[in-house]
Structure 1
Amino acid sequence: MKNLMALIVMVSAVTVSATADAAGDMGNMDMTGGPQQGADAKNGMSHMSHGEVKKVDAAAGKLTIKHGPLENLGMEAMTMVFKVKDPAMLSQVKVGDKIDFVAEEVDGALTVMKLQKQ
């Protein structure tokens, strides 16, 4: 019986040690990448999404965009309101314009970080 207990203790110790060692090896992993890939990921920007400007609200610094999937945010196609990183973006577009854009969550608000007309 003593031999069985000693064996269980040794197996448990080896298992815990191996698990801790494996967890320590993950310290150098980049866990921020998400779905970003290629050159855009190196620049800190995910690929651009496509959309149509439905409303420009210069006073509030916001755009309403009917967009396709936002893969970097895990969102499906819909129409929604976004803040803009730079208010000058609002003067580049008007209702009905087709755009390519990158949106990210900044301080809890979905924000257009990059914008260009198609």
Structure 2
Amino acid sequence: MKLLKTLSLTTTVLIASMSFASAETFTKGTIKKLDAKAGKVTIIHEALVDLEMPAMTMVFRADKDMMAKMTEGKDVEFLAGRVNGKLTVTALK
């Protein structure tokens, strides 16, 4: 019984630590250009920690709902990830 409790506790701790390890980091940036028709946004951003990319200006994909929340010149905090192999804005603060 003690072994079962120990294994259960160990499994719980392992699962909890894995969820923290996959936490995403918001990045600060400024919207430079929007191309709603193409579903693309150019952002001047700080380092993308989760993607191991330095600060730079780059183009991301964004869906229509995300694009509706953006305006050129606006400072944002965003999450970016690879969606179907394309760098994509997945969330905004």
- TM score, norm. by length of structure 2: 0.74
**CA distance in 2: counterparts of 1:37 and 1:69, whole angstroms:** 20
**How many residues are treated as equivalent by the alignment?**
78
Counterpart code for 2:61: K
Aligned partner of 1:76 among 54, 58, 73: 54
Aligned partner of 1:111 among 74, 88, 92: 88
CA radius of gyration, larger in: 1
| 1:91 matches 2:68 | yes
| Structure 2 counterpart SS, 1:90 | helix
Higher share of residues assigned helix: 1
After TM superposition, the structure 1 = structure 2 runs for residues 1-80 of structure 1, keeping only pairs within 5 Å, are 37=20, 41=23, 46-80=24-58
**CA distance in 2: counterparts of 1:100 and 1:57, whole angstroms:** 19
TM-align CA RMSD: 2.2
**CA distance in 1: counterparts of 2:85 and 2:69, whole angstroms:** 25
- Paired residue for 2:7? none
Deviations 1:7-45 (A, max 9, x none): xxxxxxxxxxxxxxxxxxxxxx88xx6xx847x72xxxx
Work out which structure has the larger RCO, using CA pairs closer than 8 Å and 6 or more positions apart in sequence: 2
Counterpart code for 1:115: L
Q: Give 4+ residue runs of structure 1 displaced > 3 Å after superposition.
A: none
CA drift at 1:70: 0.2
Stretches of structure 2 that go unaligned for 5 or more consecutive residues are 1-13
- TM score, norm. by length of structure 1: 0.60
